[in-house]
């Protein structure tokens, strides 16, 4: 089992990192291979809608998006974690995920997704909903925990005091391992369901 964790915070050792460390401890105890990508401090531009990826299956801007693509392809599950900025995921992470999910053509079906929002006070559930949308358009089941996967803290490290938030990270990681293992067994027993040929209907006349 392989899990890819994406830290969208510009702070390498901030509260988002702390939330992810709580999950990583569970993954390692369970023997899950972990790759942590810290992208929040990288210069990542938004999608320019050039359409080049339709031909190549990769983004024309060669940056952390293209570094992450093979890791996403190889993993059984992905955790996407963001500091909350103005009640949304931060813009670096949003640019990264837009381009990663749009440019890559490999199937993401039945890879497990989990999202985590980290804030001083408000906007966690809106951010959680936003991040889950990358998974649900991609045929990816979502792992859930015991809350809407949020951890609270303002100063870097303050989230260590959010005992409930940290417990919810451990529960999320535990449930995610179970779900990934269950899907692996299901693939062996039944195979992946055959997808229909894609229908694409734009709402224009």
Ligand X SMILES: Cc1cc2nc3c(=O)[nH]c(=O)nc-3n(C[C@H](O)[C@H](O)[C@H](O)COP(=O)(O)O)c2cc1C
> Which residue ranges make up the site for ligand X (CB under 6 A)?
9, 11, 14-16, 83-87, 118-123, 153-154, 156
User: What contacts 2, CB < 8 A, 6 or more positions away?
Assistant: 32, 33, 34, 35, 74, 75, 76, 77
Q: How far is the CB of 57 from ligand X (least distance, A)?
A: 32
Tell the smallest beta-carbon distance from residue 153 to ligand X (Å).
5
Task: Name which of 75 and 159 has its Cβ closer to ligand X.
Answer: 159
Strand partners, 5: 36, 79
For residues 173 and 179, give the distance between their C-alpha atoms in angstroms, rounded to a whole number.
10
50 vs 154 by CB, closer to ligand X: 154
Q: Which residue's CB is nearer to ligand X, number 61 or number 84?
A: 84
Q: Which is nearer to ligand X, 78 or 151 (CB)?
A: 151
- Pick the closer one to ligand X by CB: 67 or 161: 161
Q: Which residue is nearest to ligand X (CB)?
A: 14
Percent helix, strand, coil in the chain, to 5, is: 45, 15, 40
Smallest separation, CB 45 to ligand X (Å): 18
DSSP secondary-structure letter at 109? Answer: T
| CB 193 within 8 Å of CB 51 | no
Residues in CB range of 94: below 8 A, 6 or more apart: 46, 88, 130
Min dist CB 154 to ligand X, Å, is 4
């Amino acid at each position: 089992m392989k899990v890819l964790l994406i830290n969208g915070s510009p702070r390498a050792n901030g509260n988002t990192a702390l939330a992810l460390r709580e999950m990583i401890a569970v993954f390692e105890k369970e023997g899950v291979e972990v790759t942590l990508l810290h992208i929040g401090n990288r210069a990542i531009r938004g999608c320019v809608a050039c359409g080049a990826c339709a031909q190549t299956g990769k983004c024309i801007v060669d940056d952390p998006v293209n570094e992450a693509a093979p890791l996403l392809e190889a993993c059984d599950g992905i955790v996407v974690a963001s500091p909350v900025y103005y009640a949304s995921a931060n813009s670096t992470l949003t640019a990264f995920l837009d381009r990663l999910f749009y440019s890559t053509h490999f199937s993401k079906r039945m890879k497990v997704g989990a999202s985590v929002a980290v804030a001083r006070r408000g906007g966690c559930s809106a951010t959680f909903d936003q991040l889950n949308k990358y998974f649900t358009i991609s045929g990816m089941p979502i792992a859930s925990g015991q809350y809407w996967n949020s951890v609270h803290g303002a100063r870097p490290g303050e989230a260590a005091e959010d005992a409930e938030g940290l417990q919810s990270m451990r529960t999320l990681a535990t449930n995610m391992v179970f779900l990934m293992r269950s899907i692996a067994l299901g693939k062996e027993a039944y195979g992946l369901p055959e997808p229909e040929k894609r229908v694409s209907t734009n709402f224009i006349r």
